[in-house]
Amino acid sequence: MLDPAETLTRLRTRGAALMRRGWGRRAARIAKRAEDIVDLNHTGLVVATLFFAWSVTPSLVPRDWLFQGLISGLNAAAGYGVGCVLQWLFHKWIRPRLKIETPPEWVRYVVKVAVVLTCTLAAAYMLVLSADWQREITGLMGMEGTTRAAYLRTGGLSFLVGALVVAVFRTVREMVRFIGRQLSRWVRVPPALAPATGALLLFVLILTLFNGVATRAFFAVANSAFSVRNDKMTPYAVQPTRPERSGSPQSLAKWETLGSEGRWFVSHGPDPMLISDVTGKPARQPIRAYVGLQSADSNTTEEELAVAELQRTGAFDRKVLVIVTTTGTGWVNSMSAAAVEYMYGGDTAILASQYSYLPSVLSFLADRQKVTVAGRKMFDAVYAAWSARPENARPKLLVYGESLGSRGSEAAFDGLADLRSKIDGALWVGPPNSNRLWEQFVSRRDPGTREVDPIYADGLVVRFAATAPDLDKPSADWRRPRIAYLMHPSDPIVWWSSDLIFSQPDWLSEPRGADVTSQMRWWPFATFWQVTADLTNAQGVSDGHGHRYGSLVLDGWAAIAAPPDWTLDLSEKIRTQIELAEEYERVVK
């Protein structure tokens, strides 16, 4: 009779043999065939999964499955590359120093199968969590959420995008190897140095192209493409006939030169009859002056033409003069312009000008300095003409800028003292994090106040608001001239900064804003990339969130420059009217 211990030993040996000959070998063969086909780097796969998981964590604004799939695919491809580099470093420098026996081939392939399955399950689990996070974010913004089943499509799209990026990289790698072989053959570069030399040459070539020729070509093509759009005529923008508008037959700035956004701005807006209907009082025809990129001739600058246009229309004789610094394409927020015109019964003049053909995002990348130069030049020219008049014969001087336009509008002033000495009020909406004055006010905020809801110098001159009631904080003592910033906790344009790469911002370490999920976390590099991706979707949300400020601009104007007869009832009547006009613009423009 066999000893039980000996029997157990024989069974273990037999089982191990069967494992090697049976399931283990079959699994190894399957894994080997799969690996031969796709040539997977399994360390890269693990890091790619980690990067994918980071990419589906909650950010500032909600994302649909398509947008998330593109972002996650790029993230996963980047992670795969990092993993490949880590494995190469390990085998190059660490593995030779470790006395570790190489496991059997079948064990290695079984482990690889387990890695693939684990990564797949982990990615699916993260997608399920992400769908829940997205529903939470949309709920905070009053939007319809997604479903888990719909969001799982993100995984498939991410795989395709990631595979495409990896394929492109491998193509580049083969180019490097080819260059290396040619260098070794024709230039007699040592074989050991040829691949590195080839990579260096290719890198220098690509860098030169993208920093020089390619970059200039890209923005030249973009500028040309958007200039075509700038010249586009629409039947919903009709040349004005009243002399109070630029582009009219009497105007110094011709209709054809105003650009698409300029033509829309001067051809719309409330007329005296509509203003009287809303306010119940007599009204004047509002002045809207606009200068396009092609409006000035070789003998006149845009600033000189703008001042001449203001003088022609009698703008300096109105109650209020507003200088608007536009976004890249020359866009003016129609709700903001109309709000001032209703408030003052049309006894207003609004000046705007165009400084680029490019949309704000591209203009921010290529023409960041252009907006600051344009903003300062325009304000200085108008201010010189305004201040030359007798003090009792000047209109109230206000400045306005939204998004990138707020950067240009801020650039006209050296600091708070300069602001207070020159203007009667400033309203800046959705300011980019790089705005010089905004950054100074926020970084020097009163102790104990949050970055998303700062209080500067007890709110005596400068205030920040995400909602209308915020404008009344911290007290009723708000001295004139008043400066107001409108900014949402969920607006990525406000909170994007390169500092996110290495440091956690206060707005993520302090209690969150009302429309920012508590599940959002800061990770080095990852959060920077997440908020960068949010920039392209900043307006894909409901009003009152992200970069959509809606009729809050009316509350901003009322807070800094309300006329003496201002009432809450009049405010709501104007709000209804400008929201209806905004809806019409969204439909037809």
pLDDT score at 170? 75
pLDDT tier, 200 (very low <50, low <70, confident <90, very high otherwise): low
- Average pLDDT for 235-241: 91
pLDDT tier, 186 (very low <50, low <70, confident <90, very high otherwise): low
Strands (E), 79-132: none
Check whether 206 has a pLDDT greater than 70: no
| Beta carbons within 10 angstroms of residue 492's beta carbon | 23
User: Of the given ranges (47-61, 83-97, 362-376, 469-483), which has the lowest mean pLDDT?
Assistant: 362-376
User: Of the given ranges (87-91, 262-266, 332-336), which has the lowest mean pLDDT?
Assistant: 87-91
Check whether 23 has a pLDDT greater than 90: no
Q: CA end-to-end span of the chain, whole Å? A: 94
**CB-count exposure of residue 458 (10 Å: 0-12, 13-18, 19+):** exposed
pLDDT score at 18? 45
Tell me if residue 311 falls in helix, strand or coil.
Answer: helix
* Contact by Cβ (8 Å): 287, 313: yes
* Contact by Cβ (8 Å): 471, 484: yes
Order the strands of the 462-465 sheet from edge to edge. Answer: 287-291, 348-353, 320-325, 396-402, 425-429, 482-486, 462-465
Check whether 587 has a pLDDT greater than 70: yes
Listed in sequence order, the DSSP H helices in 141-231 are 148-151, 153-182, 194-208, 214-230
* Contact by Cβ (8 Å): 74, 165: yes
Instruction: Report pLDDT digits (tens) over 322-344.
Output: 999 998 789 999 999 999 999 99
More confident site: 387 or 91 = 387
HEC profile of 489-515? CCCHHHHCCHHHHCCCCHHHHCCCCCC
- Average pLDDT for 457-482: 94
Domain boundaries, the chain: 24-226, 240-418+549-588
Instruction: Report pLDDT digits (tens) over 426-453.
Output: 999 999 999 999 999 999 999 999 999 9
Share of the chain above pLDDT 90, in %: 62
Q: What is the mean pLDDT of the chain?
A: 86
* Contact by Cβ (8 Å): 455, 475: no
Distance CA 232, CA 448 (A): 51
Distance CA 318, CA 99 (A): 86
Residue 566: closest CA among 237, 293, 344: 344
pLDDT tier, 247 (very low <50, low <70, confident <90, very high otherwise): very high
Distance CA 136, CA 123 (A): 20
* Contact by Cβ (8 Å): 450, 414: no
Check whether 74 has a pLDDT greater than 70: yes
Planar angle of CA 90, 92, 98, nearest 5 degrees: 65
Which structure tokens are listed for 518? 């508590």
Instruction: Report pLDDT digits (tens) over 409-421.
Output: 999 999 999 999 9
pLDDT score at 556? 98
Strands (E), 458-568: 462-465, 482-486
Distance CA 146, CA 282 (A): 50
Instruction: Report pLDDT digits (tens) over 491-507.
Output: 999 999 999 999 999 99
